[in-house]
Amino acid sequence: MKMKLTKSQMDKLKEHSKEHGGMNSKHMRMMKKMMEEGMSFSKAHREAMKMDDKDSKSKSKPMKGLTEKQKKLPKKLQEGIMKKKNKSTY
């Protein structure tokens, strides 16, 4: 049974959505749906992150601009390195 989210839950989701590309991102849609089904924010986030990991593993491409050693690091660290490199090019 779907429950309507409270204002504070929606505010928390909107704030969190800034880290995941907005409320229309797949991650946020999954979280909202799970919370409407009664799941807590934390549990919904963990489940959405697990699903994100499964999706990214099937779609993962090697990042250009990384050394061979950096390519062996976890995806999140690789993304951080690329962000830092992109900022320093300006």
- Residue of 58, 65, 36 lying closest to 13 (CA atoms): 36
CB 7 within 8 A of CB 41: no
Residue-wise pLDDT tens for the chain (90 aa)?
788 999 999 999 999 999 888 999 999 999 999 999 999 999 999 999 998 887 766 665 666 788 888 888 888 888 888 888 777 654
Give the model's pLDDT for residue 62.
Answer: 61
| Cβ count within 10 A of residue 62 | 8
Contacts for 62 with CB less than 8 Å, ≥ 6 apart:
71
Which helix (H) or strand (E) segment holds residue 76: the answer is helix 75-88
Give the model's pLDDT for residue 59.
Answer: 60
Q: In angstroms, rounded to a whole number, what is the distance separating the alpha carbons of residues 45 and 7?
A: 18
* pTM for this model (two decimals): 0.60
